[in-house]
Structure 1
Amino acid sequence: MPTTVQESPAKAAPPALSTRHVHAVAACYFVASFAALGLPPYLTRILPELGDSEAKWAGLLYIVPTVFGAIGAPLWGRLADKYGRKRLLLRAQLGLAVSFLFAGWAESLPAFTAALVLQGILGGTFAASNGYLAAALDGRQLSWALTLMQGSARLALVAAPILVGTLSPWVSPHRQYALLAVLPLAAAVMLAALPEPVRADEAAAEGSEPDNTGPNDDANGAPHGAEAPRQAPAPTSLRTLYLLEFSFVLATVVSYPYLIDLVEKRLPGLGSAASGVLFALPHVCYLLLARPVHTAVAHRPRLGAAAGFGCVAVALAGHWGAESPASFVVLRLVLGAGMTLGLVSLSALAADACRGRRPGRMFGSLEFISKAGAVAAGAVAAASNGVWGPAAPVVAGSAVAALTVLASTPTLLRTRWSR
């Protein structure tokens, strides 16, 4: 085996994907995400058209695609490894288009709910896109591609609700589901021209999986095979990666549902537009800072993750006492820095963990963990808000981030400083 590791750089074929291909995948995910990310905030306007006059089912329906997406992600990942990542990525885009058409045509609440279930089961474009990229890229190339995918998600999260709101005077948010189905269809057409990626190490990985439970927590994000004559660090433990992913999603997403309510209570008269800007500010920070942060933490992702969790903990705790626009802006900027550090570091850790593993299976499981964290965040936010008010969810997120740092410090900070 050692001989195989040292010879692999000479035998490895160049990556099947160019920078142009990576950008195309990220752009396709961006356009396909518009309906999935831009329309759920308008459920309170959609449901009265379907017979739920008080929109009492909005909270539950908001997480229906997430729940069923989590259930389906591991299966689709395994099928991608077996039948081809490009084929399963196309399936995900076409599945979104079909579910959006059904949602836009639905004339009753049960039919609309069934369409959201289909969206969760047939979608999964984020995991499919990551699996596709991981099948041809490695090391820093892959970690940057995953960082770019997160940027696509953040950009869609900021832009999609604005587009939906702009179209609302002419087309109701309900019917926009059918209208926006054209976007994943267009993405599928674009993706059809891309090559089928092939991993150079796939044959070696076919017969065995690395030990996921041992002390595989030392990785610096360097490309696979770099400096092979030296002893290469073992891939990141999946247990560590999944724990950090779940905790980070829970800590950050738990603050989303009631943030606008908190801002409006603390700053009456600020206006809905300004409240929306405060909500979007951390995501804008990611778009601006992702590249320099990736350069800084790609070789020490555990340190970056620790710093990210720490910034998130401090920023969310500060929301409890924020009473002025300036204090909210500062706290949202600190949260944006923490989100950027955390997401970029998690991308680097995922790229490292993918070495020698089947990417479809791993990213499908990672998507399950991420969506499970989002569902848990929604439940915690609803429960804490009902008891202590809209400031409680952000404090809960701060507690999760702080506890993760304290519990994981020995692992997070065990970083290789020399290359």
Structure 2
Amino acid sequence: MTSVPEPINWKRNLYIAWLGCFLTGAAFSLIMPFLPLYVELLGVTDARELNIWSGAVFSITFLFSAIASPFWGALADRRGRKLMLLRSALGMAIVMALMGMAQNVWQFLVLRALLGLLGGFVPNANALIATQVPRNKSGWALGTLSTGAVSGALIGPLIGGLLADRYGLRLVFFITALVLFICFVTTLVYVEERFTPVLKKDMLSGRQVFASLKKPRLVLSLFVTTMIIQVATGSIAPILTLYVRELAGNIQNLAFVSGMIAAVPGVAALISAPRLGRLGDRIGPERILIAMLGLSIVLLIPMAFVQSPWQLGILRFLLGATDGALLPAVQTLLIYNCTNQVAGRIFSYNQSFRDVGNVSGPLIGAVVSASYGYRAVFCVTALVVLANVVYSWWSLQYGAARIRLPGE
């Protein structure tokens, strides 16, 4: 008589994946406060060239991540998601260590591109948890998981700045590599996945993946929504400090005030994501998605008319609360509309759209602010989100009035 294997402890996997997302989020953001300073250390001293190189080394990681994500997603569907988590954590640890030994800016640029190619811990963690968690708890689980990367991204710059001031820039890269290696070890030891490898000849092609979906247009609209969410977040990033200076004048603690205003959306997202995810499990993630997109428009427009930094900070805190629900709602809808067989690739495609948003958002913000001023950025961003609300509402109406769970 064959014994039935015990079910996978998906809650333990969720908590370990949360820790991994936290560590990778912290590792990536540790070096953000001094990225231009490191470029300068590598020999770029001209002010104009420094701006160009800083933008290039920042953006190239997202660009190459967008290119590589579908490949890693296909491999995850063939070989398993845990293997992709291990590959990502170990690969990024090695690249980070090499960054600390870079001798010129070209080496650094290539390594930043390689970091994008080898990344993908967070989308694979989402795919792993989404395929193991009971469907009626998907919103809560993915909302909780999203707080890991957000928490790491919030605390990383603070720790990175302190370490860089005390121990120098290069050492931070080696500390970051150690953090990622710890992520690799905890994933190796504690994450459980029962996965039967799929032969390459049995894998679905990209066209067959979309043909297997019951509502491919809805899934595509969710990809676009992910991109727009990142565009809306990133468009404000390049001008935030300058906008705060315009509102407050040349105050002595400009960097601190700007940093606080930059951080408050993340704090709000930490609070709201699990709660709104649980609410989405009850009333439907599609309702949460449309409501929070609409509310974000209502919050973006007044930002163009604020008269003080504290007014901007309050609005950004409220905006962060809406943002905390958006990506988990999208991810929940994605897992409702695809099979476990293709979940890795669906989440990797979604990551590619997210990376495109990460690249294009700051560019849009910079162009609009240069042509029409800082306040115009918020109005243009609100218009982009409004167009997406209409598109998402139409897609959800076309795809399904209500997503049905198994057993309903």
TM-score of the superposition, structure 1-length normalised? 0.85
Partner of 2:300: 316
**Cα displacement string for residues 99-138 of structure 1 (whole angstroms, at most 9, x for unaligned residues):** 1011111011111111111111112111222222234234
The residue that corresponds to 2:160 in the other structure is 164
Q: Are residues 48 and 412 of structure 1, via their aligned partners in 2, closer, same or farther at CA, if it must alter by over 3 Å? A: same
8 Å contact kept, 1:286–1:340: yes
Question: For residues 221-260 of structure 1, what are the structure 2 equivalents within 5 Å?
Answer: 237-260=218-241
2:339 counterpart SS class? coil
Seen in structure 2, the aligned counterparts of structure 1 residues 140 and 82 have a Cα distance that, compared at 3 Å, is same
- Which residue number corresponds to residue 260 of structure 2? 277
**1:178: Cα distance to partner?**
2.0
Deviation at 1:406, TM superposition (A): 2.5
Aligned partners of 1:116 and 1:206: how far apart in 2?
31
Q: Does the residue aligned with 1:197 lie in a helix, a strand or coil?
A: coil
Opposite residue 257 of structure 1, the aligned amino acid is P
For residue 372 of structure 1, the aligned residue among 356, 379, 383 is 356
Letter in 2 for 1:256: A
Task: Out of 131-140 and 121-130, give the one that drifted further.
Answer: 131-140
| Paired residue total | 387
Matched, 1:93 2:89: yes
2:14–2:145 contact (8 Å) kept in structure 1: no
Shift of 1:279: 1.3
Tell me the distance in 2 between the aligned counterparts of 1:359 and 1:15: 20
Task: Name the counterpart of 1:130.
Answer: 126
Give 1:213 shift: 7.2
Distance in 1, matches of 2:83 and 2:385, equals 38
Aligned CA distance change for structure 1 residues 81 and 408 (closer, same or farther; 3 Å): closer
Residues 1:288 and 2:271 are matched in the alignment = yes
User: Retained in 2: the 8 A contact 1:210–1:357?
Assistant: no
Aligned partners of 1:143 and 1:350 also within 8 Å: no
Q: Confirm or deny: 8 A CA contact 2:131 2:340 kept in the other structure.
A: no
Is 1:336 the counterpart of 2:320? The answer is yes
Distance 2:170 2:365 in 1: 26
Gap change, CA 1:323 and 1:119, over 3 Å in 2: same
Structure richer in helix, relative to its length: 2
Q: What amino acid is aligned across from residue 242 of structure 1 in structure 2?
A: F
Question: Given the alignment of the two structures, is residue 180 of structure 1 paired with residue 176 of structure 2, yes or no?
Answer: yes
Q: What is the identity, as a one-letter code, of the residue corresponding to 2:241?
A: I
Secondary structure in 2 matching 1:334: helix
**Which amino acid is 2:108 matched to?**
F
TM-aligned CA deviation for residue 325 of structure 1:
3.6
State the match for 2:44 in structure 1: 52
Report the AA paired with residue 29 of structure 1: C
* 1: CA distance, partners of 2:16 / 2:380: 38
Q: CA deviation at 1:206?
A: 6.9
Written as runs of structure 1 = structure 2, the 5 A alignment for 1:366-405 is 366-405=350-389
Among 15, 19, 40, the residue aligned to 1:27 = 19
Name the structure 2 match of 1:234.
none
Decide whether aligned partners of structure 1 residues 170 and 143 sit closer, same or farther in structure 2, where only a CA change above 3 A counts.
same
Residues in 2 aligned to 1:37 and 1:324: alpha-carbon distance in whole angstroms: 28
1:63 aligns with 2:59: yes
> Cα distance 1:40–1:333, how it changes in 2: closer, same or farther (>3 A)?
closer
| SS of the residue 2:374 aligns to | coil
Distance 2:18 2:229 in 1: 22
- Residue 32 of structure 1: SS of its match in structure 2? helix
For residues 73-108 of structure 1, what are the alpha-carbon distances to aligned partners after superposition, in whole Å with 9 as ceiling and x for unaligned? 110111111122211210100111011011111011
Instruction: Say whether the 8 Å CA contact 1:300–1:415 is kept in structure 2.
Output: no
Structure-1 separation of matches of 2:171 and 2:103: 10
Q: Residue 412 of structure 1: CA displacement? A: 4.1
Equivalent-residue separation in structure 1 for 2:375 and 2:288 (angstroms): 27
3-state DSSP of counterpart to 2:165: coil
Give the root-mean-square deviation of aligned CA atoms: 2.6
Give the Cα–Cα distance (whole angstroms) in 1 for the partners of residues 61 and 169 of structure 2: 17
Q: What is the TM-score when the length of structure 2 is the normalising length?
A: 0.87
CA contact (8 A) 1:310 1:405 kept: yes
The one-letter code matched in structure 2 to 1:265 is E
Distance 1:195 1:339, change over 3 A: closer
Q: Residue 358 and residue 397 in structure 1: after superposition, are their counterparts in 2 closer, same or farther (change >3 A)? A: same
Question: AA paired with 2:27?
Answer: A
Match of 1:263 among 244, 255, 264: 244
Aligned partner of 2:240: which letter? L
Contact 2:22–2:148 (CA under 8 A) maintained in structure 1: yes
Structure 2 unaligned segments of length 5 or more: list them.
Answer: none
Query: Do the aligned partners of residues 138 and 351 (structure 1) sit closer, same or farther apart at CA in structure 2, a change above 3 Å counting?
Result: farther
Which residue pairs with 2:75 in the alignment?
Answer: 79
Q: Deviations over 1:209-259 (max 9, x none)?
A: 564676568xxxxxxxxxxxxxxxxxxx32122121122221222112211
Q: Percent identity, please.
A: 23
Q: Distance in 2 between matches of 1:381 and 1:138?
A: 40
Matched residue type, 1:347: Q
Distance 1:387 1:155 in 2: 35
Question: Which residue type is aligned with residue 304 of structure 1?
Answer: I
